[in-house]
């Protein structure tokens, strides 16, 4: 998860993010002012979470920009934690806040793994007998 934490610190200044973790999932919260569910795209590519968003910036007709520092497009890409299940991720957007829930893969339960032989017991015994017979002939 440290790769994800490091990537969040490298997000553009216009994106504020929180990362929360429970026993069963991660919750990534991104503040994307001016962005709606319709103007955002969220996908997983090659083990990375990709967020592409466009702000809705309405300029009143009687005004001109003197200074513009809020970018129109916001792109962010962060690595998924290795135990996150991207196929079961869920996202919601409310008032410019994007919440992404990434469930964690359940740890494999403890169990004994049986070990089998290459063949059934009769074949192995026949092979051993044949080996003993040829070994005796050579002596």
Percentage of the chain beyond pLDDT 70 is 73
Residue ranges and CATH numbers for the domains of the chain are 3-103 (2.60.40.790)
Nearest by Cα to 74 from 54, 90, 93: 54
pLDDT in tens, 25-68: 999 999 888 889 999 999 999 988 999 999 877 788 998 888 87
Buried b (16+ CB within 10 A) or exposed e, 99-127: ebbbbbeeeeeeeeeeeeeeeeeeeeeee
């Amino acid at each position: 998860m440290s790769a994800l934490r490091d990537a969040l610190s490298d997000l553009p200044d216009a994106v504020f993010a929180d990362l929360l973790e429970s026993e069963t999932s991660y919750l990534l919260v991104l503040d994307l002012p001016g962005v709606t569910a319709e103007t955002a795209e969220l996908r997983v590519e090659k083990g990375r979470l990709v967020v592409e968003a466009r702000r809705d910036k309405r300029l009143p007709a009687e005004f001109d920009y003197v200074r513009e520092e809020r970018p129109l497009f916001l792109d962010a890409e962060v690595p998924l934690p290795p135990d996150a299940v991207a196929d079961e991720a869920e996202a919601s957007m409310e008032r410019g806040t994007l919440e992404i829930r990434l469930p964690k893969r359940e740890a494999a339960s403890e169990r004994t793994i049986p070990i089998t032989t290459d063949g059934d017991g009769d074949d192995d015994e026949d092979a051993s007998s044949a080996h003993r017979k040829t070994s005796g002939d050579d002596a």
